Structure 1
Amino acid sequence: MGDMNRNSNLYIEAARVLHDIYEKKGSIKTCVHRSSFQEKQMLTALVSQTLRFAKVLETVVKRTKLLENNRLLWNDGMLARVLLYDFMIGPGLYKPGRLKVVMVKNKEIITSEFDRLLTAYGVNECSELPSSTTEALPRYVRVNLIKTSVDEVINSFVDKGWTLLHVPTDFSSFKEVCQNLDENQFLRDFHLDDLLVFPAHTDFHDSRLVQDGTVILQDKASCLPAHILSPPEGAVVVDSCAAPGNKTSHMASLMGNKGTIYAFDHKEDRIEVLQERMEGAGVSCKVARCMDFLRVKTDSQTYRDVEYVMVDPSCSGSGIVSRLDSLTNDDASVSQHRLGQLHKLQAQILRHAFSFPKVKKIVYSTCSINEEENEQVCEEIYEKFKERFKIKKVMKNWPERGREGYQKSDRYLRASPTATLTNGFFVACFKRRKRKQEVGSMENGMDQEEVSSEDDQGSQKQNGMDDEEKEGSKKRKKRKEKQSSEEGGEELMEINEKKEKKKKSKKRKRDMYEEETPVKRKEEDMGEKKEEEKEEEVLERSVKKRKERTSKSSHCSDTIDIRDKSEKMDTVESIASVGTENSTAKIHKKKKKRSKD
């Protein structure tokens, strides 16, 4: 292979890039950039598609024994893969040089092996063969309960020739059935009542049910958060990082489209996508807001009744199996610095969710498999709020839990292609403690309610869903009644806490004011006294003036201020004395006149 011109052969250079990727020397972009091949876009496309169909191509190379019988391939499996991809799946060979001889010479056996794979997977074109990353995952279809019921959708598929299989009683048997579904076979999901399972790679994009929003194509792992949060009908919910909106529409479906969902995203284009999906799904109970969730004033009147919060923040997406991160991430893309930045943002968003005054339940989820984004975020936040909230264990018989070594590992929920036939996922549920439990858990060092709740789970269905996670209007009404009965005590507790906080803040401000500005306060007090003295002087002068006026003219007595009774009495006495003096003078004059006569 070394005697060929490096710049003249696309396939030789693509094989070298693939070797670098598998040896973790860089990502696709990094390795292609280092290459001296001029057509970078062409090289990137070939490398990416070869990685996508890696398992199929590897199978063909082994069964056709291309490396054993063709010395031109230099026993290089990567070179054989890139040639096979363009020869059978891609657009055709591009200037292969002498390597064309290998493909032409073995065309019959290569074609025969691809035909066998087409038959085995029930597809017509090589491009429809399963990719290496999604071969084992079934096709999940979520029923939109706003528009229809699960039974109606099942009947619709049965009428079109599909066969409904019985759901096994244990999950291991369920997995086996899902992995071996024949064409036109489907069944209900083992854990989620509104989810149906179809053979892998079943194409529903042209289906009327998908186009009119009756069903939603959504991976099972992505359906877990809404079921675990399980807001009842009429609830007030916040979806902190809502776009593109599958989880938002799922919550609306479980709520019967009754209540309010505040859906936040900080990008206008993503909000537009969310609005379109909500309209297609018939969701009318949402309020889309284009703003950063961290800037939401959680104590405002608008959000005073929020009780349920969904936190599904931006993450590395390392759990999405259709991505080739396990092969293409370089050291920079998975560095501790990058994970540290994501961890910081995720923790901030989750912490902000706890600031809603009446929040009862918070669900945190990511499509990442990194502990830095999952267990470490939850453990950090739990330490800050453990006096008021607990991490609740949900879906008791779910087969995969959190990574070992953490305080609440057994209460976290993980999903993976191998264990659950889904994308990689993580979910944690925070639930507010009852008032008695807040005191008791701190004194006894344990979660009394968690113990009793886990005991109560033994009487539930085998699917492990607790009461709040079961579907059905009757059970939702019971939950609502139970929540309303608990709400009074919680509100009273919150009101008392607010009063105490206000008292403490006022006392603190008063103490600070007295300590920091004693001179200023004395000056203000003196000023207030002087003003009061001036007001008294003005009042006394006005009283004197009124007395003078009343003494000069009797008709002015009507203007006497009735508020001052003493003034009125003084005025009356003065008038009476004047009248007495005048009458005695007249009597003396009459006596003198008589004496003269």
Structure 2
Amino acid sequence: MSLYYDAATVLTATAQGGSLKSRIYGNKSGFKSKPAHIYALISETAKYDQFLKEVVDNAGLLVQERKLTPILSLLLVHDHFFSKSGLAAPSAHPLRLAIERNKARLQAEFAKARLRRRCATLDDLRRSLLAENPRAYQSQPRWVRINTLKTSFMQESATTFEGYKSVATIMEVTDSFGTEKILSIDRHVPDLIALPPEADVTKTPAYRDGKLILQDKASCFPAYMLLGEHDDSSHIGYCIDGCAAPGNKTSHLAALLAKMERTESKVFACERDPNRSKTLISMMRKSGADAVIVQASCDFLTLNPHDSQYKKVTHLLLDPSCSGSGIIGREDIPILALPVDGKSEKAHPTSSRNASRKRKRDHAHEGPAEDTNEAEETRAVAPDSTRLLKLSNLQTKIVEHALSFPAAVRVTYSTCSVHVEENEAVVSRVLSSRIAKKGNWRLLRREEQVCGLREWAHRGMHMSADAANCSPALIEADREACIRCNPGDDEGTMGFFVCCFVRAPPRTPCKASDTLHGEESWEGFSD
């Protein structure tokens, strides 16, 4: 069966192709099997490899079946015992026959290994093995946003997710078995749920009809921060998504406006790339975002803020091009504990690999996720500092352009980058700009943010002199106004940054002791 050969190819490839997900889904030559099936097989086998090695070795499988490789033996034995549907191979296929010839010995050794762990059921065994052999990485959940333009959480609970158990934490979701029907209702963003990493909703009628949208939790923050939950939404006019494709945030904007019954509000969606514009148009049709006016092949920077069609634009969402340093694969390529190679009858030379694996696991539990981020910073910033500076300058220009729209009162800025140069440094330069000072722009403070985001723990970072690039350091209140998401931590998000600029009304001086970004502060703001 090609599934097992394809999975073995991924695990034995000499070229380092990034994460497991990128190797499978980004394979240029293509596999005969579906990428989702390859991914599920490898990730599930990696959870139980030590146990599977024990069974294979004690059953003498590779001694009896010289044509099997150690990796193939793990993949096959995994599916034989742990897959609900068993081996994915025809009855006469050589791989299935190899397992069938040794079925009795494998079954006996499997039972002995299970009883040694005092596990009465297969589910007990799974839990025991996950505790015994914790993963060296934090899997990402499958985030799904309920598209309220077409459905509701209650409707999907009664249909698509009927029979699912609701759990409290992301860890419970990511540590679950692929076949478990569980979900976690997000506590920060409404209508967002987390499913197990191997969950596939793309085959459901709800997904095909545009009722479910696959969208990372972090990328749901900008639209929610921009529009939030208002008792009085009369101040919300038209919106602009300045860098819209593929359209997840755009459709989220449209859904939030519909919830507020802002039927007269429009969303102008700009996308300068023609091909991505087609994707954006398709996404808006599928999601039922009728309020969106797609401005295809349109660069946001070319819009004239004083054009009459934009005179009612009050809210702008900006997610411009960035380094993408916060985007992560679900995990690195797993290094499996391999059985004894039957062709040599000597231990397979994996001891150093297993030692490396142990060091990797130990390191993963030694310190916080910031250690990983710092390593990522060192690896990415040093050779790409020129590119980061160019991106940062462009990002600053885009935000300043948004602030120039006459009726604008809120502008969110976000990136999927972990670099200070593209995040806090951009915010600092914008706040120091002539246009921000002239328009009385400041950051939406933490205590003013919508409740779910106000409770988010991770906030803006201090800037080093190099990263700041001559920009003034943000004061503590401004750092607290910025939200950060850290890749690989227990929140299950990619690396992300978001903040919101708000325009203050005509100002009246307050206490001289108060400061706002190094300047005099003012009371009376209400948007």
Match of 2:441 in 1: 389
The change in CA–CA distance for 1:332 and 1:147 in structure 2 (over 3 A counts) is closer
- Is the contact between residue 400 and residue 419 of structure 1 (CA under 8 Å) also seen in structure 2? no
Match of 1:206 in 2: 203
- Is the contact between residue 401 and residue 412 of structure 1 (CA under 8 Å) also seen in structure 2? yes
Written as runs of structure 1 = structure 2, the 5 A alignment for 1:543-554 is none
Q: Distance between the aligned counterparts of 1:211 and 1:386, measured in 2?
A: 43
1:350 aligns with 2:399: yes
Match of 1:136 in 2: 139
Q: Distance between the aligned counterparts of 1:210 and 1:321, measured in 2?
A: 24
Amino acid at match of 2:313: V
Q: How far apart are 1:174 and its partner, in Å?
A: 3.4
Amino acid at match of 1:403: M
Q: Distance between the aligned counterparts of 1:225 and 1:240, measured in 2?
A: 12
Q: How far apart are 1:55 and its partner, in Å?
A: 6.9
1:225 aligns with 2:226: no
Q: Distance between the aligned counterparts of 2:152 and 2:14, measured in 1?
A: 50
Superposed CA RMSD in Å reads 5.2
- Is the contact between residue 365 and residue 427 of structure 1 (CA under 8 Å) also seen in structure 2? yes
The change in CA–CA distance for 1:80 and 1:304 in structure 2 (over 3 A counts) is farther
Match of 1:75 in 2: none
Match of 1:289 in 2: 295
The change in CA–CA distance for 1:305 and 1:184 in structure 2 (over 3 A counts) is same
- Is the contact between residue 243 and residue 269 of structure 2 (CA under 8 Å) also seen in structure 1? yes
Q: How far apart are 1:51 and its partner, in Å?
A: 11
Post-superposition Cα deviations, 1:26-72, rounded to whole Å, max 9, x if no partner, equal x99xxx9xxxxxxx9699x9xxx999998767666655669x999xx
Q: Which runs of 5+ in 1 are unaligned?
A: 1-10, 33-39, 71-78, 93-103, 124-131, 166-172, 454-481, 484-597
Match of 2:458 in 1: 400
Q: How far apart are 1:205 and its partner, in Å?
A: 0.8
Q: How far apart are 1:400 and its partner, in Å?
A: 1.2
- Is the contact between residue 143 and residue 216 of structure 2 (CA under 8 Å) also seen in structure 1? yes
The change in CA–CA distance for 1:122 and 1:344 in structure 2 (over 3 A counts) is farther
Written as runs of structure 1 = structure 2, the 5 A alignment for 1:49-448 is 62-63=50-51, 136-157=139-160, 160-164=162-166, 174-179=169-174, 183-230=180-227, 232=233, 235-256=237-258, 258-290=264-296, 291-322=298-329, 335-384=384-433, 387=437, 388-392=440-444, 393=446, 394=449, 395-405=453-463, 406-407=473-474, 408-416=478-486, 417-436=488-507, 440=510, 444-446=514-516
Q: How far apart are 1:289 and its partner, in Å?
A: 0.9
Post-superposition Cα deviations, 1:560-588, rounded to whole Å, max 9, x if no partner, equal xxxxxxxxxxxxxxxxxxxxxxxxxxxxx
The change in CA–CA distance for 1:311 and 1:83 in structure 2 (over 3 A counts) is farther
The change in CA–CA distance for 1:411 and 1:295 in structure 2 (over 3 A counts) is same
SS of equivalent to 1:418: coil
SS of equivalent to 1:307: strand
Amino acid at match of 1:430: F
Amino acid at match of 1:273: T
Written as runs of structure 1 = structure 2, the 5 A alignment for 1:555-574 is none
SS of equivalent to 1:223: helix
SS of equivalent to 1:310: strand
User: In percent, how many aligned pairs have the same letter?
Assistant: 27
Post-superposition Cα deviations, 1:250-292, rounded to whole Å, max 9, x if no partner, equal 0000001541111001112211111111111111111111211
My pick for the range that moved more, 247-256 or 300-309, is: 300-309
Post-superposition Cα deviations, 1:501-545, rounded to whole Å, max 9, x if no partner, equal xxxxxxxxxxxxxxxxxxxxxxxxxxxxxxxxxxxxxxxxxxxxx
- Is the contact between residue 414 and residue 498 of structure 2 (CA under 8 Å) also seen in structure 1? yes
Q: Distance between the aligned counterparts of 2:124 and 2:291, measured in 1?
A: 42
Q: Distance between the aligned counterparts of 2:218 and 2:485, measured in 1?
A: 7
Q: Which has the higher contact order (CA 8 A, sep 6+)?
A: 2
Q: Distance between the aligned counterparts of 2:194 and 2:443, measured in 1?
A: 30
TM-score for the superposition, normalised by structure 2: 0.60
Q: Distance between the aligned counterparts of 1:429 and 1:216, measured in 2?
A: 24
The change in CA–CA distance for 1:383 and 1:264 in structure 2 (over 3 A counts) is same
The change in CA–CA distance for 1:309 and 1:442 in structure 2 (over 3 A counts) is farther
- Is the contact between residue 390 and residue 432 of structure 1 (CA under 8 Å) also seen in structure 2? yes
- Is the contact between residue 218 and residue 496 of structure 2 (CA under 8 Å) also seen in structure 1? yes
Amino acid at match of 1:174: T
Q: How far apart are 1:235 and its partner, in Å?
A: 2.2
- Is the contact between residue 40 and residue 198 of structure 2 (CA under 8 Å) also seen in structure 1? no
Q: How far apart are 1:12 and its partner, in Å?
A: 12
The change in CA–CA distance for 1:404 and 1:50 in structure 2 (over 3 A counts) is farther
The change in CA–CA distance for 1:175 and 1:325 in structure 2 (over 3 A counts) is closer
Q: Distance between the aligned counterparts of 1:174 and 1:316, measured in 2?
A: 30
Aligned residue-pair number: 399
